[in-house]
Amino acid sequence: MSSETLLFDVEHPRPPLRACVSRLAADPAAYTVFPEYDMARQYRTLRLVAEHTDVPVPRVLWLEEDPGPLGAPFFVMERAPGRVPPDVMPYTYERSWLHTASDAECEHLEAATIGLLGRLHDQVPLTEAEFLASPGDGDALRRHVGTQRAYYHWVIDGLAPSPLIEAAFERLEQLWPHEPGEPVLNWGDARIGNVVYDGVDPVAVLDWEMAALAPREVDLGWTVYLHRFFHDLTVASGQRGLPDFLRRDRVEARYADLTGHTPRDMDFYTLYAALRHAIVMLRIAYRRAHFGEAAVPSEPDTLILHHGSLRAMVQGGYWD
């Protein structure tokens, strides 16, 4: 829903057979999930990460900003072989390849993935990443949250607002960090479902459309909460899930050991992650209604798949 992805092979004497992936901007007429799709920005971000870090990203080959050839702007990357923890059915469900991995394999994958974040945050010079700064006034965190408010207002334009999302924004203000950390390059959609693994080793970090400059904890909160999102869904279905994997305390400790930076104000940042995810979920629900796949209920909060956990976070009881 956020872009079109095409897999293809290039057959040519120079270079020899090459497996490729093309990412195309979403069709504006298809009730898009996000207001804009800046393919040049994503392409530039991938090149920046490849140039300044040892974080494994696909090699980008070409960028085409003219929508004429394929009907939308696009860029092309080399394809990385491997496997990805699935969203459908979630990797936390029984019989997924990660659910059946050994404790040692899960430990390795978790440590390697948190290591990606640490190296990304430490190795990219801010002077090279200014094009990813959020617009607006104030520090990087205030501007980042401001873009999410603007996104929410875009989602509900002409539609029913979400009292729960608005309560979450109010709760954020109450939890606002006294001293937000200095900005770093954030991956944005920092979760294991956006990583290709060879066994349990990361070989390609994908999906940079949400990249931005923000405190380190914005990425860490997203990593922690997006796992909890899938785990909570799994538990609600009557399965055990993966309760000991990507636990908040373990993620914080691993990150501190790797970088020397102890994550702070994580109640704020995990709530912020759940809030951001709720806005995306609300847009997707309204998209389904737009195409006649679902009806809009009288209480729009129920359109948010994780409204229960978000409400518990707003009330301060989720992590209990």
Is-contact 204 82, C-beta < 8 A? Answer: yes
Instruction: Spell out the residues 6+ positions from residue 110 whose beta carbon is closer than 8 angstroms to its own.
Output: 245, 246, 250, 251, 254
- Greatest CA span in the chain, whole angstroms? 62
Nearest CA among 262, 255, 266 for reference residue 225: 266
Q: What angle do CA 150, 194, 247 make, to 5 degrees?
A: 90
User: What is d(CA 148, CA 240) in angstroms, rounded to the nearest whole number?
Assistant: 33
Distance in angstroms between the alpha carbons of the first and the last residue of the chain: 34
Query: Which positions are catalytic?
Result: 189
Distance CA 133, CA 126 (A): 10
Closest CA to 212 of 24, 22, 41: 41
Q: CB atoms < 10 A from the CB of 33, how many?
A: 16
